[in-house]
């Protein structure tokens, strides 16, 4: 895995958890808006919108660089629209990055002919 690919995966990982948190906070604010006088939906909506757009941009970049299959690429997008999906995406991306580092080290040492 080259440096640009690793950076693309890292960026996607870094934005996935905050995007999931902002989505959950937006849901809480929506409930509070309807049950109390508290209305933070416009602010949380903007924060979540910005984080979601960043997630989509980083997702497209990572998909382009990693050459994921259509199933994998679409799965990461589906995780972005589920309320807690960003947490699962972050965990899978971390595992994928660690596996790539291990494979890279093994190739470098000549243990694997790939």
pLDDT, one tens digit per residue, over 91-108 is 999 998 888 778 778 877
Give the pTM. Answer: 0.83
| Residue of higher predicted confidence among 105 and 36 | 36
The region, left, alpha or beta by phi > 0 then psi within -120 to 50, assigned to residue 112 is: beta
The two structure tokens encoding residue 91: 């965990």
Is the pLDDT reported for residue 113 higher than 80?
no
Is the pLDDT reported for residue 84 higher than 80?
yes
pLDDT, one tens digit per residue, over 52-79 is 999 999 999 999 998 899 999 999 999 9
The two structure tokens encoding residue 43: 């602010």
Rounded Cα distance between 41 and 25, Å, is 9
- The pLDDT assigned to 74 comes to 94
- Measured between its terminal Cα atoms, the distance across the chain in Å is 12
Rounded Cα distance between 112 and 110, Å, is 5
Average pLDDT over residues 2-10: 85
Residue 110 is classified by DSSP as T
Contacts of 94 (CB under 8 A, 6+ apart): 13
Residue 60 is classified by DSSP as H
């Amino acid at each position: 895995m080259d440096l640009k690919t690793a950076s693309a995966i890292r960026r996607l990982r870094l934005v996935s958890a905050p995007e999931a948190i902002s989505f959950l906070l937006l849901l809480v604010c929506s409930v509070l808006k309807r049950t109390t006088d508290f209305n933070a939906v416009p602010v949380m909506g903007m924060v979540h919108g910005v984080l979601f757009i960043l997630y989509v941009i980083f997702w497209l970049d990572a998909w382009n660089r990693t050459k994921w299959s259509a199933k994998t690429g679409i799965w990461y997008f589906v995780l972005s629209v589920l309320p807690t999906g960003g947490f699962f995406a972050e965990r899978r991306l971390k595992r994928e990055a660690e596996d790539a580092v291990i494979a890279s080290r093994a190739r470098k040492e000549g243990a694997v002919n790939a």
